[in-house]
Structure 1
């Protein structure tokens, strides 16, 4: 508990924590702006265009904002201490080292869960209110039917936070960790989407963005991702995104000099 309290003190006394949390929650405002613009365009469109108009579930669009922000927060939790030398002090007090990374994992995971839940459910609530029954009733699905996907989408945010922490521990570089996160969130999915079949479907199915819907068995027909995984396999892959980098980072922390 002392280690956890010490790490919490570090996290809550740096401005980057509050900045990343604020930017994450700013995703709600982004979703609201998109919903408002889409509703206005729909209302001003002629009937034949309204019949063909479509809009994505906006909470699944803006979730990338807290994903990246919390991923960066996770990376900074370890790379900033490498840069300042504070990590050597932590390891002097806790020579076994792994409890330090465990405490950091708990904290960034909880912060990611908070940011993800508030952003996803906040965006969903406001988008449903603004869009109403427009766009062929994209937000007309009952809340309880959408709840599993909302929950799994929210869980992707702490996964990114832990992924950032693990990659930061492995690379010891903030820039390298951020580049890796951006690659997983933006670059690799775009590359996968332009590959010939069956590789586009196969690789797209294991991208983080594809996993929340596959876990719940939701429809991915109009998604840019694949949908080859069973719910249990998708859950295992999502867990691996968080657990494997942290595990590897822990092993390297125990073997390398701080």
Structure 2
């Protein structure tokens, strides 16, 4: 508990943590702006176009913001200590090393589990209130499972960032790999010929929330081949594999 409390104090003392949480929550304001734009487009459209008007789920559109912000926070949680030399003190006080990484995981993962649901559920409620009279919006009961699984991905990103930060020690390098793994690679996969596009797309992190919840994926840009349990395991592996790699390298290398 002392290690956990120490890590909580550390992350609160980093200015970037407050900024990144603020930017994450700012995704709600971005969604409001998109909603106003959609309302303007609908009101100016002819009646024939209004009848077939559709809009993407705004909580999924803006989810990239808290995902990336919390992923960067995960990176900075450990790379900032390497940059200042504080990591030597941390590892001197906790020689076994892995408890330090686990405490950091609990803190950044816990923050992700708070920030993610706030952004996702508030954005959904706002979108429903603003757009329901103009666009088809799924009911809360229909969307609830996907809202939950989408929220969890924010915490997963935080843990991916932490694992990469522990492995690379460099903020720039870890953030570059984070962006490449979860944003660049899906674009490449989406442009592959079939059946590889759908096969690999099914394991991309963007596809997993809907696959886990069993939601309709007919309009998804990703694949839809994984059953819910397998998709849940893949999502967990996104967080676990970088953390295990980071823990292994943390034990083997000098601070």
TM-score tier, shorter chain, comes to: over 0.9
Secondary structure of the residue that 1:53 maps to in structure 2? coil
Within the candidate set 175, 195, 199, 1:178 is matched to 175
Within the candidate set 226, 233, 236, 2:233 is matched to 236
Aligned to 1:76: 76
| Equivalent-residue separation in structure 2 for 1:244 and 1:186 (angstroms) | 18
| Equivalent-residue separation in structure 2 for 1:47 and 1:188 (angstroms) | 40
Secondary structure of the residue that 1:207 maps to in structure 2? coil
| Equivalent-residue separation in structure 2 for 1:189 and 1:224 (angstroms) | 10
Aligned pairs (5 A) from 1:75-224: 75-135=75-135, 137=136, 139=137, 141-224=138-221
| Equivalent-residue separation in structure 1 for 2:182 and 2:128 (angstroms) | 25
| Equivalent-residue separation in structure 2 for 1:167 and 1:36 (angstroms) | 38
C-alpha displacement at 1:47, in angstroms?
1.6
- TM-score, normalised to structure 2, is 0.98
Question: Which has the higher mean CA deviation after the structures are superposed, 48-57 or 117-126?
Answer: 48-57
| Equivalent-residue separation in structure 2 for 1:86 and 1:213 (angstroms) | 41
Aligned pairs (5 A) from 1:33-48: 33-48=33-48
C-alpha displacement at 1:182, in angstroms?
1.4
CA RMSD in angstroms, aligned pairs only: 0.9
Native 8 Å contact 1:184 1:207 kept in 2: no
C-alpha displacement at 1:185, in angstroms?
3.1
Where does structure 1 differ by over 4 angstroms across 4 or more consecutive aligned residues? none
Secondary structure of the residue that 2:221 maps to in structure 1? coil
